[in-house]
Amino acid sequence: MPTKVAVVTGSNKGIGFAIVRGLCKRFDGDVYLTSRDINRGQNAVAELNNEGLRPKYHQLDITDPKSVEKFRDYLKENYGGLDILVNNAAIAFKVNAPEPVIVQAEQTLFVNFYSVLSTCQILFPILRNGARVINITSSCGHLTKIKSEKLRNRFKDPNLTIEGLSSMMQEYIDAAKQGTHAADWGNSSYAVAKVAITALSKIQQRMYADKDIIVNAVNPGYAATDMTLHKGPLTIDEAARAPVYLALDAPDSVKGQYVWKDKSAISWEEELADPDYII
């Protein structure tokens, strides 16, 4: 039997780091902490080593397909496949960021949607039977964050494809360039990207409906991280609970779902009783 392997992208700090910690404590296999910056990644590994945990490390920049391909080849050669993939890496501009809307739109979508999609397309072919994919979204990834009913209907169309979703993201960028985005899409590029990640998770699950591969999107909750300027009420370990649950404990019936911080699958389309705002 080959050794099982789990990968968490962007995991040298924050919620990703805590997910690695949680997996190291319970996963029956190797857990990879990954980061763009090698020094930061190795320092994070050393911190977990001091706790008695033994994560592995590999450099990974999801914005660089060559970096992802190199990691894919490494996993294929050393493990023959991949068992758990947590797509955690993301960026966020602060509320009062000085960058123009179009810069925020292009950069946020490039990292938080297009680079996550590219990473999936490169790594999914090596997913083993029984693999679980957890795409980290947000309460901002709830469909009600999109103002236009027409757009919401397109997002939830059961026939939406990856190509169609990617085209929608380009429409958003074009609208941001023209300054017409707010009326239909809202004012947050982060929210648009996370809604797209939730939609992507549902599309991916449909694509793998005839295989033993489970894909879910999860809102880990509003945690105290660099991304939130440490304003969130949750610790990173509390925010890691739902992602770790989906990786290790959730029944196979939980698939293609939008999962909340309390581990419950909630409606992606209906108004939320608990808005639980993040960024």
Q: Active-site residues: which are they?
A: 190
Residue type, 3: T
Hunting for tokens 């680079």 — which residue is that? 115
Give the torsion sign (CA, 145, 148, 151, 156): positive
Distance CA 89, CA 20 (A): 13
Hunting for tokens 């992208």 — which residue is that? 9
240 CA to centre of own chain = 12
The DSSP line for 63-92 is T-HHHHHHHHHHHHHHHSSEEEEEE-----
The closest of 91, 115, 54 to 227, measured between CA atoms, is 91
Burial 106-124 (b: 16+ CB within 10 A, else e): bebbbbbbbbbbbbbebbb
Hunting for tokens 């033993």 — which residue is that? 212
Output helix, strand, coil percentages for the chain, rounded to the nearest 5. Answer: 50, 15, 35
30-35 β-sheet, strand order? 56-59, 30-35, 5-8, 82-87, 127-136, 213-218, 258-259, 265-266
Pairing mode of beta strands 258-259, 56-59: unpaired
Q: Which residues pair with 35 in a beta bridge?
A: 59
